Amino acid sequence: MSEQRTSIHGQWTNRTVFILAATGSAVGLGNIWKFPYITGENGGGTFVIVYLLCIALIGLPIMMAEIMLGRRGKQSPINTMIALAKDENRNPHWMWLGWMGVVAGFLILSYYSVIAGWAMSYVFRTGGGMFIGVTADGANRIFTDLVSDPERLLAWHSIFMVMTMIVVARGVKNGLEKAVTLLMPLLFGLLLLIVIYSMTTGYFMDGVRFLFTPGSIDGKGILIAMGHAFFTLSLGMGAIMVYGSYLSEDHSIVQASILIALADTVVALLAGLAIFPIVFANGLEPGAGPGLIFQTLPIAFGHMEGGTLLGVLFFTLLMFAAWTSAISLIEPAVAYLVENKGFNRIYASVWIGGLTWFVGLGTVFSFNIWADKTLSIPFLFEDLTFFDTLDYLTANIMLPLGGLFIAIFAAWVMSERSAKEELATYPKVYSVWRFLVRYITPVAVIVVFLKAVGAI
């Protein structure tokens, strides 16, 4: 057995805090902003089914693997991979897996922060009564006005980045617990209220049908669904690994993973059920793109009793959910700088945050002055803006690739004895996990990749 390591960054006070923190990382813009709009763009039904299958067969086993690796390595993902590879007498090049995660997290946060800025600005738009009695056209105009103004986007993006840097500088373990225990249930309750509103639109069943009736899907759609399973569970880039490194040995990884994945999935489905009935009731386009929730939810808030207050609460909570995800996106990088470069947390957060902020300018501009500047990569995608390109490369390529190597490491490189020490509290679940992560998960990821580029 490897020597028992301890984390220099401290550890979670108990298992509940870990589950809350990881749920805070998982539940975010991915569930409420991204899931509905990519579901809309990819035709609903089949896309949702593929996404759910990916959560169960790929996401869940990889989440267990990622927490396990983090807990054994007890360091930032880069150093964890070096340490674990050494334990098994393998090549330290496994650290590149950690590096890819650091880069992915950094790129994701650069655009995530801009979208979180939209949520913040909507707190004020809703609070100012802008949506009272609003029509679909009106809501659309208000959204377009926002994103076509780079200065506004820049201001909100900057505020959100500073907020993120402050929490990361103080250490992710401080304050996260309270934030998540209070906010998650509230967010959940509010989503339920919007779903109830959606039931009154007369189009609820159209929404349900759109979300769950199978239709057709192509290779690219499957890749996007799989990429989203990684994105929404915060997998493949070391966020969950670094959170796992602050977890003590006596807690069940299996139970925690199931709870986190379940909470995450329920929030996404509720968001879908809230949004699509409003889309159909107002003759909107499900494939409207990244603005979808900002063009639909205000209509609900503008027409329901107490809508202004609910709207303010909703966008505030969405901002908080984004915040608890954002901090996990740069924690691997910050932990690494603290471990290897002797930076203190404040210095490390300012560096990483500042750099992320800068790259975020590209996303700010891609909704206005760079809106017609697009990029194509043969076999992968065509005509994507800066923002869409970053999103595509990170969510659909880097995260699944990271996940693939995490699965390979956990199932093929790490000795069975080590894996058993971490996960064998439920022998049956352990066998299923091992089978999935050894065969099903890696093969599924590779097949989806090949299918997306048209190789099969």
User: Would you tell me which residues interact with ligand PHE (CB under 6 A)?
Assistant: 25-26, 28-31, 108, 231-232, 234, 237, 239, 325, 328-329
Nearest position to ligand PHE, beta carbon: 30
DSSP 286: T
Specify whether the CB–CB gap between 284 and 136 falls below 8 A: yes
| Pair of tokens at residue 421 | 């020490």
Specify whether the CB–CB gap between 176 and 326 falls below 8 A: no
The smaller minimum CB distance to ligand PHE, of residues 188 and 370, is found at 188
The smaller minimum CB distance to ligand PHE, of residues 300 and 333, is found at 333
Look up residue 71 and give its amino acid: R
| Pair of tokens at residue 230 | 């990684």
Q: Give the shortest CB-336-to-ligand PHE separation in angstroms.
A: 15
Distances (CA, A) of 95 to 222, 313, 324: 29, 42, 26
The smaller minimum CB distance to ligand PHE, of residues 130 and 318, is found at 318
Specify whether the CB–CB gap between 10 and 247 falls below 8 A: no
Kind and range of the H or E run holding 382:
strand 381-384
- CA dist 129 and 455 (Å) reads 52
The smaller minimum CB distance to ligand PHE, of residues 30 and 311, is found at 30
- How many CB atoms are closer than 10 A to CB 123? 18
Tell me the DSSP string of 162-175.
HHHHHHHHH-TTSS
Q: Give the shortest CB-288-to-ligand PHE separation in angstroms.
A: 20
The smaller minimum CB distance to ligand PHE, of residues 166 and 199, is found at 166
- In sequence order, the 6+-apart residues with CB closer than 8 A to the CB of 390 are 107, 108, 110, 111, 362, 363
Burial class (CB in 10 A: 0-12, 13-18, 19+), 54: buried
- CA dist 221 and 450 (Å) reads 13
Rg (C-alpha) for the chain, rounded Å, is 21
Q: Give the shortest CB-29-to-ligand PHE separation in angstroms.
A: 4
| Pair of tokens at residue 375 | 């990029």
Q: Give the shortest CB-112-to-ligand PHE separation in angstroms.
A: 7
The smaller minimum CB distance to ligand PHE, of residues 223 and 419, is found at 223
The smaller minimum CB distance to ligand PHE, of residues 32 and 436, is found at 32
Specify whether the CB–CB gap between 77 and 246 falls below 8 A: no
Q: Give the shortest CB-264-to-ligand PHE separation in angstroms.
A: 7
Q: Give the shortest CB-236-to-ligand PHE separation in angstroms.
A: 8
The smaller minimum CB distance to ligand PHE, of residues 329 and 401, is found at 329
Q: Give the shortest CB-165-to-ligand PHE separation in angstroms.
A: 16
Q: Give the shortest CB-238-to-ligand PHE separation in angstroms.
A: 8
Give alpha helix (H) positions in 128-175. Answer: 136-147, 150-170
The smaller minimum CB distance to ligand PHE, of residues 61 and 302, is found at 61
Q: Give the shortest CB-350-to-ligand PHE separation in angstroms.
A: 20
